[in-house]
Amino acid sequence: MKIGVVGTGMFGFALARYLGKKYERDKTIEIMAYDRNRELIKYLREFRVHPYHFKDKKLPNNVKLTDSKKELAEGSEIIVMAIPSQAIRETVREMKSYLEDGVVILNTAKALEIGTAKTFSEVISEELGNTLGYTLAKLSGGTFAQDIVNDAPLGADIACPNKGTLKKLQIIFHSKTLRIYPNTDLLGVEYAGAFKNVIAILAGVVNGLELPYGSETHLISRASKEAKEIAVKLGAKPHTFSMESQCWGNDLWMSCTGKSRNREFGKLIGSGLSPREALKEMERQHRLVEGYYTTKVIQTLCEKTGVRDPILNEIFKIVYDEKDPMSSIKDIMDRGLEDFEEM
């Protein structure tokens, strides 16, 4: 069986290395990683380490590298999408003529498409149409790339509506260092991953403002309520947004309180940088802020569902209208009282 990994950034490199190590002695499993950056592929082939990240972590020799989408896709039973979310549509469009019938496409991006507010299962389905048989799945959880390459004990959800494929993916990706939990709610897992990044930006802003931890957890918890209500109105299952869920409870906790890219981006804003300056600093570090893109479409989803989103709306104002962060916090606190909620 051939597993293709699209993208060799932080997470793509970490996953390719993880799979390579797991199947290092299994000659029946072929791991191939692709990147459109030819210089990066050339460097990885020669040195087997990443030029920007994890410079002391080598790729196993069984991980093959290519800058050809055709070579990557042909014969691959599983394609792991580990590229920036906004490049997924174009990449799938360019790759679809090479994909095998019956391929499983496992997405890892945690965002929604700019302009359409669509999940990437919707985006991929639109691009592939009826050209071949395929199954879509999603990997999501509290899994920093740094922790994966360091073999830390971690947990993640894999979501797929096809239970047979879901079990197969669980077995393939599960190991002694990465525990995989199955979930059939693909839509919910996609929304959970996207929304938690937006909330992590807010957590970073609060931290950058040097407000106490209780302020941070208060706003995380209430923003989480808004996100869950939107997702459920859009068709997600409530259980996906539970505390024990790896794609929500685990990932939200980790991203909002750990050293995540989205939290660090928010922290820069809270510390005094403009959103544009903060984004440039993250780009300088070769660190993609996926929550930046999802924040832009939050208002569209709120209008679509009719959910009140005073906190998520303030995150939009901070990031895109460059509203003073402390003014946003004050406006959140000064708004009218909530009504009693029936349980």
Supply the CATH number for residue 207's domain. 1.10.1040.10
The answer as to whether 341 is a domain residue is: no
pLDDT digits (tens, 9 = 90+) for 100-149: 999 999 999 999 999 999 999 999 999 999 889 999 999 999 999 999 99
Query: Which residue, among 32, 101, 29, 106, has the nearest Cα to 67 in the 3D structure?
Result: 32
| Residue type at 251 in one-letter notation | D
- What does the alpha-carbon distance between residue 314 and residue 331 come to, in Å, rounded to a whole number? 8
The domain boundary residue, chosen from 184, 208, 243: 184
Residues 9 and 55 in one domain: yes
- Whether residue 338 is predicted with pLDDT greater than 90 in this model: the reply is no
**Rounded average pLDDT over 307-329:** 96
Q: Which residues are annotated as catalytic? A: 196
Residues 214 and 165 in one domain: no
**How high is the mean pLDDT of the chain?**
96
Q: How many CB atoms lie within 10 A of CB 261?
A: 23
Q: At what angle do helices 290-305 and 186-208 cross, to 10 degrees?
A: 120
Helix or strand run (H / E) with residue 33: strand 30-34
Residues 170 and 202 in one domain: no
The answer as to whether 248 is a domain residue is: yes
Give 187-218 as a DSSP string: HHHHHHHHHHHHHHHHHHHHHHTT--HHHHHH
Contacts of 321 (CB under 8 A, 6+ apart): none
**190 contacts 121 by C-beta, under 8 angstroms:** yes
Note down the domain range covering 173. Answer: 2-184
Total number of domains in the chain: 2
pLDDT digits (tens, 9 = 90+) for 17-64: 999 999 999 999 999 999 999 999 999 999 999 999 999 999 999 999
Residues 202 and 175 in one domain: no
Residues 117 and 259 in one domain: no
The domain boundary residue, chosen from 151, 184, 217: 184
The answer as to whether 251 is a domain residue is: yes
- Whether residue 264 is predicted with pLDDT greater than 70 in this model: the reply is yes
The answer as to whether 340 is a domain residue is: no
Residue 342: what pLDDT?
53
The answer as to whether 102 is a domain residue is: yes
The domain boundary residue, chosen from 184, 207, 223: 184
Residues 178 and 34 in one domain: yes
Q: Where are the alpha helices (DSSP H) in the chain?
A: 10-22, 38-47, 69-73, 88-95, 120-128, 145-149, 163-173, 186-208, 213-233, 251-257, 261-270, 275-284, 290-305, 310-320, 325-334
The answer as to whether 227 is a domain residue is: yes
Q: Is the pTM of this model over 0.85?
A: yes
Residue 339: what pLDDT?
76
**Model confidence at 343, in pLDDT bands (50, 70, 90)?**
very low
Q: State the CATH number of the domain containing residue 107.
A: 3.40.50.720
The answer as to whether 343 is a domain residue is: no
